[in-house]
Structure 1
Amino acid sequence: MKAEEAMPLDEVLEGFGEEQQPAGSAPSTLDDVLQGFDETQAADTETQPLDAALHSAGGWQLSGELDFSTAYNFAHQRPAPGQTDFRGLSRLRTGLDLELEGAITPGWRLHLEVGGEYDAVYRINGRDDYRAQLLDESESEVEVGEAYLQGSPAPAFDLKLGRQILVWGKSDNLRVTDLLNPLDLREPGIVDIEDLRLPVGMAKLDYFSGDWGFSLIALPEVRFSKLPPFGSDFYQGAAPAPPERVPADGIDNMQYALAANGIFSGWDLAFYWADVYRDQGHLSANGGAPKLRHSRITMAGSAANVALGNWLLKGELAYLSGLEFSGLPGLKRDRADLLLGVEYSGFDDTTLSAERALRRLSGFNENLAAAGY
């Protein structure tokens, strides 16, 4: 059983001042996954130029959110001797997210998010009962979220530099073309989907013409998903994972992406291309101790939405090449992914969604089957 509460900072401080904020003055919090996968927001971001408000050097806004979440495990069996007992209280976490935004010059604005959290459950239950790797990655954390400079260098052009979250595709729940941002998967199925995406350092240049928006993206930061650490109740395995080889950030390992997004009356269409490191790693020995490596892949894809009254039909298609696999050195394969979905919004404050993804791996043989693929 899991229970979570989130309290915006303005609610926490309510009563300490006599003046009420005007309606709509409080900025919203981070917006990615269930609502972060919201195709409408993503489309607006990709195809609309900067708001005219950016062209006047307005004031600065500081906002924040205070979170408190707890979890209690009630169906766990007694662990074997020497293993961590995760029964009972398993999370007692407090988090604080701060967001600063403002115009630094006419036409240019700065956005900065910083978040920190502390989980008191480890001290309450006894830190000696947990593995060091779990404590290092889960007890406390301070991290820079989205942090970027955004402006218009020329008419019809927008430039965005810094750590960003860029949503591709139309799916609300499954990932087919959405591959630029890694995910925080340390607690799968528990963390709100809008908080899963991790920002990545990139430079994004947008050009707008009529109903179309075009994006040229360069990603110098190489970042992969956060997985459950050794010692976590979500970690699968009895031994620590092999060391991970993460390519160095910079020009030598630059990743690239292109996007074209058109919004029309009742439907929209997008095309994507990316040359990036694969988020899912594979074990490779290369004559030494096994290491978790990430292959360089390319992806070409497309996504579309069609609105029919209260119904929304969605589809995505992606073709990935250069995939490598654990235990099969030198083997590379291509894969085609297809997603079909439907969404119904005819109820008040309720949306129903169903999606199905199919993935077909080229050249599948007994070696891949024996390796668990």
Structure 2
Amino acid sequence: MRFGRGHKGHRTLMRGCAAFCLSTIASGGLAQDNFFNSVNVQIPRTSAASSAYSLFGWLNQKIGYGLEAPGVPFSRQDSELTKVETSLFMQFDTAVNDSLQLRFSGKAYRDTIYSLNDNPQFSTDEPNKFRSRFEVKDFFLERQYDNGVYLKVGNQLFAWGLSEYSRVTDLINTEDQFTFGQQDLEDIRLQVPATLLSFQLGDWTLNSVLTYEAGRNDTAPLRDEFDQFLRLRDSGLNLEREQPDNQYEGFLRASTNWARGDLQLIAGEFNDNNLSVERIETIGSIQPRLIYSQNRMRMPGIAGNWVNGAWLMFVELGMHQDKAVRPTAETFFGQSQGWAQKDQVLSAFGLEYNGFRNLLLTIELDNTHSRDHDEFMADQRDQTSFGTRVYWTALNERLELIAVWNNLIDADIEIGRLSVNYNWSDQIALGLLWMNYSS
């Protein structure tokens, strides 16, 4: 959802959402696993002999309202509706043969806010981006070989790592950053074209992933409430983007588990999904041209968890090598050959407690340490964030409540989020989200 972020010190937002689920399945079995932003209908897998295919989906209606006016230079000037979005998700699964499976899923969006609201302040980019769009979600073939090798080729998701708020070792998928802090990390991952090869070696599972043209994080358009480049655009600078020189990215993971926990060893060479300045060109132009691209990086990392009774502890550690770091405002235009590159050590520590009935409590502490820190860097040597999460269910899990508070690691911003979801039936769910941003 997109809501008024603005540039005031305190911003409060609200969303109302009604989700209607339509399901057509070959097997006739239906189970429902709901979360707030979309209602996910899961279908039990059936053998090729009993069902040649399965087809299901859902229709989602979202209505957003910005309680505070962001003001100039954002497009929205008043407290008003920010979204009237209808989306349709469909997923098709079929068995090509006994060992080869095919999945295709996609999501179509239509936001009628641009028809209901004739706000002349909308930038051209906003309706072009959000009025109508279609996303290919999963689109892959998967095969399990008799020798234990598993192969999966196509558009897919990878949920590596354990941190909820920081990308420590979970670096394969890009993110939907059209909104800010209104969804859990697991809900903003975007599928990327990749080949996954997996096999067992004793007690270990080995995974290798190769991606090509995975792209970058999706960011909001010009003058949108979540426009990350607004200050630079508003100053009259020309912002351009170049494709990275190497479009291939590779990742390796070795994972194992024991009675009380799991362990992952991860390594990768990849393009940073966040853009950084590659160079600044001033010759032959009245206004400076900022050329953005994705910096090439490498990462070794480790993640693990341990369970003791009602407690679960998780730790994640990763070295991000050659990370392009943002310079200070005073030295920004002095780095004409691009932002400096530093090695950063990212760490996350978290605890979960589920000793209460229908209640799950989570706390997480994250830190980013920049090696060879200097006075030209905008961020401090150590950046620390803290997050808490409460998940509660009632009425036989038909009612769900999620409360999140997070102090962001890369900005002096605190985010509070409260969402309530009620599963009216197996086909209809209602939800409400309240957001608060303060800085």
What is the TM-score when the length of structure 1 is the normalising length?
0.83
Distance 1:310 1:152 in 2: 35
Change (3 A) 1:66 1:287: same
Change (3 A) 1:53 1:158: farther
User: Quick check: 1:86–1:233 contact (8 Å CA) kept in 2?
Assistant: no
Q: Does 1:275 align with 2:296?
A: no
Which amino acid is the alignment partner of residue 145 of structure 1?
A: K
Aligned to 2:209: 217
User: Quick check: 2:268–2:299 contact (8 Å CA) kept in 1?
Assistant: yes
Aligned to 1:318: 318
Residues 147-196 of structure 1: CA distance to partner in whole angstroms, max 9, x if unpaired? 10000244110000001110111223432111111110111123465431
**Which of the residues 327, 342, 345 maps onto 1:336?**
345
Q: Does 1:75 align with 2:84?
A: no
Matches within 5 A, 1:245-324: 245-247=242-244, 253-285=247-279, 287=281, 289-324=289-324
Query: Per residue, is there more strand in 1 or in 2?
Result: 2
Which amino acid is the alignment partner of residue 25 of structure 1?
A: L
Deviates more, 1:308-317 or 1:81-90: 81-90
Distance 2:265 2:147 in 1: 23
Residues 244-287 of structure 1: CA distance to partner in whole angstroms, max 9, x if unpaired? 22237xxx521111001112111110010010001121113254
Change (3 A) 1:225 1:65: same
Change (3 A) 1:80 1:324: closer
User: Quick check: 2:62–2:86 contact (8 Å CA) kept in 1?
Assistant: yes
**Which of the residues 144, 148, 167 maps onto 1:152?**
144
Change (3 A) 1:117 1:370: closer
User: Quick check: 2:324–2:341 contact (8 Å CA) kept in 1?
Assistant: yes
**Which of the residues 364, 369, 372 maps onto 2:373?**
364
Q: Does 1:244 align with 2:244?
A: no
Aligned to 2:362: 353
Q: Does 1:103 align with 2:99?
A: no
* Structure 1 counterpart SS, 2:190: coil
Aligned to 1:16: none
Which amino acid is the alignment partner of residue 90 of structure 1?
A: T
Change (3 A) 1:117 1:210: same
Overall identity of the aligned pairs, in %? 22
Distance 1:293 1:61 in 2: 41
Aligned to 2:425: none
- C-alpha displacement at 1:6, in angstroms? 2.2
Q: Does 1:198 align with 2:190?
A: yes
Aligned to 2:124: 132
Distance 1:194 1:280 in 2: 18
Distance 2:213 2:37 in 1: 20
Distance 1:362 1:3 in 2: 44
Distance 1:232 1:368 in 2: 27
Change (3 A) 1:86 1:104: farther
Distance 1:161 1:176 in 2: 25
- C-alpha displacement at 1:75, in angstroms? 2.2
- C-alpha displacement at 1:32, in angstroms? 11
Distance 1:269 1:301 in 2: 11
Change (3 A) 1:31 1:180: farther
Which amino acid is the alignment partner of residue 271 of structure 1?
A: L
Query: Per residue, is there more helix in 1 or in 2?
Result: 1
Aligned to 1:2: 15
Residues 322-355 of structure 1: CA distance to partner in whole angstroms, max 9, x if unpaired? 1123544363210101110000112233211000
- C-alpha displacement at 1:143, in angstroms? 1.2
User: Quick check: 2:174–2:214 contact (8 Å CA) kept in 1?
Assistant: no
**Which of the residues 174, 177, 180 maps onto 1:188?**
180
Change (3 A) 1:60 1:297: same
Change (3 A) 1:279 1:347: same
**Which of the residues 166, 170, 194 maps onto 1:174?**
166
Change (3 A) 1:370 1:146: closer
Change (3 A) 1:171 1:193: closer
Gaps of 5+ in 2: 1-13, 283-288, 327-331, 382-409, 411-439
Distance 1:356 1:337 in 2: 11
Distance 2:199 2:36 in 1: 23
Change (3 A) 1:242 1:80: closer
Distance 2:350 2:73 in 1: 47
Q: Does 1:63 align with 2:68?
A: no
Aligned to 1:43: none
User: Quick check: 1:166–1:180 contact (8 Å CA) kept in 2?
Assistant: yes
Q: CA RMSD in A?
A: 3.2
What is the TM-score when the length of structure 2 is the normalising length?
0.71
Q: Does 1:89 align with 2:94?
A: no
| Residue correspondences, number | 345
Which amino acid is the alignment partner of residue 354 of structure 2?
A: S
Distance 2:121 2:191 in 1: 33
